[in-house]
Amino acid sequence: MAFLTLTACAPTAPAAAPAAGNGGDSGNGGGTATGQPAAGGDGGGADCTKASKVTIGSDGSISPEDLSLQRGAFIFVTNKSDKTFKLVDSPDAGLVTSVLGRKEKQVVQFPKAGKFTVSAGDAEMHVTVSGDSGCGTPEPTLTIKDGYAFSPAKLEVAATANFTVVNKSGAAHGILCDPDPGGNGDNTRLEKGETQILAFDKPGAYTCHSVQHPDAEVAITVHGK
């Protein structure tokens, strides 16, 4: 997957979010994707391949500090620091559990309207969500279960279509795919309890497995758009 090494599931940032890619040597990667995945849902003609670019700087600051989005829109977060941060939303904005490792990149969706504070450590970003982007929640969901197995064991997705991966195994997992969707050997890491939005850029047949538990595999067939 271009993310997950699964392909990096990440909508490209509007005026410039680079394709998702894992630059950290810690094994965390929001994606190694090389494309512009589209969010799930019919969207009604909405452009769901765009995401607003957000950066956690080397000093732990968040930029921009204020952001306006439509409900269902995405942000593309790049952690340029050497620290790990958990994104915390207040009040509940409906965000998936996101932990960004050092140098990691991830995509996060805002499914609820309202005014929210998103913090990473001591830094805060104020987000106003209104209207409706027309972008539905990415599907289907791939789950890493107790016993370190993927469910389902076989998955079919459309190229560039966002889908979610949930780690319910109780342990962190790095995920590698063969062939390598991003072509750079990166892997995506999901902490226990974490959910990430992913996508594959190129059609094909991929076998993805846990770095920690190689017997845990999922076969992913990616169809053309």
Q: What tens digit of pLDDT does each residue of 121-164 get? A: 999 999 999 999 999 888 888 999 988 999 999 999 998 888 89
Residue bearing the bigger pLDDT, 47 or 225? 47
The arrangement of strands across the sheet holding 74-79 comes to 62-63, 51-56, 74-79, 105-109
What is the mean pLDDT of the segment spanning 191-196?
91
- Interatomic CA distance for residues 8 and 19, integer angstroms: 7
Name the one residue in this structure whose structure tokens are 């829109």: 73
What is the mean pLDDT of the segment spanning 5-26?
34
User: For residue 205, is pLDDT > 60?
Assistant: yes
Q: What tens digit of pLDDT does each residue of 75-113 get? A: 999 999 999 999 999 999 998 888 898 888 888 999 999
Average pLDDT, the chain: 79
- Interatomic CA distance for residues 69 and 196, integer angstroms: 20
The predicted model scores a pTM of 0.69
- Interatomic CA distance for residues 1 and 138, integer angstroms: 15
Look at residue 90 in the predicted model and tell me its pLDDT.
Answer: 97
